[in-house]
Structure 1
Amino acid sequence: MPPELNGIVVVDKPKGISSAGVVARVKGIFGVKKVGHTGTLDPFATGVLICCINQATRLSQFFLKGDKVYEAELVLGKVTDTQDATGTVMERHSLGGLSAEQVQETAARFVGSITQVPPIYSALKHQGTPLYKLARQGVPVEKPARPIRINHLEILEMNLPTVRFSVSCSSGTYVRTLCADIGRKLGCGGHLKALCRTASCGFPVDAAFSLEVLAELKEQGGLGETVIPMNEALPFMPAAVADDGLAKRIRNGAKLSETDIPIPPRVSDQGVFKVVDPRGRLIAVMAESPATGNYNYCCVFSA
């Protein structure tokens, strides 16, 4: 019996399929029971969708919190109910007198720590029901504004009413809402026309595999080369090395502290670190607990 396949595969999601649809395709191609993605892309969007296979599905929480990079196309002068090109146009405004300099200056104001109201057409839930379902039923629910961070925003091309830009942002950022907010600040409105996630948690779209290529590699017996092992999938997380004895204690859930595992010199932004064996295989992800002096277990993996 072949060993269980655990790791991530970076997929270049095509247009016209949901993220859940990609997961179903990946599950079929790899012939595995468990696959999960790490951050929804709308059906009209393309680009990086990190898919976690088998035990690696437990790592999705760390990818969900990671920064993302997008290339987006904003169309000014039209406001839609969904904030993107799939929706109904609700308002039209003239761009008379609007200059490229105004667009540049306004977009630059969004860089930094800001708040954003999630769109009413989104997968966020209200009392267990996705907001987009409530909106389609004529019962729109607006969630309160929440903090996000725009690390960098660069306008790549401007041919009004169309503005193409690149944005690096924190998790939880809605690029279509960013487009709508920029349009609102300019006084003419706007919506997102096209979106490509060019990187997620440091994994670029150039290194992603299309579903067609994955299917071809399956026929050629080369699928295994596309899977990034769990340890290598967490390059942003500092590592501690455990010998076989300590690895056994960890898998048995023993209480551990700095006496057992010195905190790695570079602790991640999420306050967690990974523990690997001398062969580089992931044993666990752990978090500091200053209150108790012990480490908290985030997830532990079988040998």
Structure 2
Amino acid sequence: MVETMEKSNTTSDFILLGLFKHTGLHLFLFTVVLTIAISSLVGNALMILLIQQDLRLHTPMYFLLSQLSLMDIMLVSTTVPKMAADYLTGIKSISTAGCGLQIFFLPTLGGGECFLLAAMSYDRYVAVCHPLRYPMLMSWPLCLRMTVGSWFLGAADGLIQAVVALSFPFCNRREIDHFFCEAPTLVRLACADTSVFENVMYICCVLMLLVPFCLILTSYSLILAAVLRMRSTEARKKAFATCSSHVAVVGLFYGAAIFIYMRPKSYRSAHHDKVVSAFYSIFTPMLNPVIYSLRNSEVKGSLKMWLGKCANIKHHQTWSCSR
């Protein structure tokens, strides 16, 4: 018994305090969150499948959308399985390697999504303002470079955060008041001066958010100016329909991210951070495919076609079995 206690005291694992407690209300909330997470995985996987299967969707716009869905799947998979396992088993420890992987993947996916949304806004700008030059201004090589650049910049940020955050010495109390590991919460446990790292991390987060956000604002300012010059009401409606889905996704993502990473320290609280983190890492990935599918006639048409094919296959299988 004494030996077990000594091992638990000297363990290098961290303890995630989690998002929910074992009460009736929290059990209900946990079930809701888990349902939303599963819906997010299914919705984004279906979006990737539709884009892959339908040749009409093999365009730069939908390729970028498939990358957004892939990032959302990875984002949910990084946080929710561990959170669910901790809640159901009561074992809330996470190894240093596991914590480092979460710290790496969250900025990689979050930062990558920032730049990917900026690339999507440029795509919408070209489609609305320069439709005849779209194949040249939004070519496949440029689309692939922007995609790879988004992943690379996000991964660079994630790697730096993970390596530096785990390089600090940590005190005996290794409890993280969160449901996943991220650098801002982890460095609070460090037994060293982390002010330089926190300030640099704050500046990097601001740049990772504001640089793409400025590009998005520039793109949509030019789009708005072009739309206001259009004489055709039908053309205006089409332009707004083309851009409205992306604007909604940008608003949801950046609203949560700015609340988390750009507030002064005096206004931060662990409870609010956990709730907003749950919003951008679980709820927003579910809303993305819903927004794009409900407001996009091409995606809805592809979904109906796919469901029709599935129904025909099932009908033929039933008919064959009946014979």
TM tier, smaller: under 0.3
Q: Which has the higher helix share?
A: 2
Q: Which of structures 1 and 2 has the larger relative contact order (alpha carbons within 8 angstroms, sep 6+)?
A: 2
Q: TM-score, normalised by structure 1?
A: 0.26
Which one has a larger percent strand, Structure 1 or Structure 2?
1
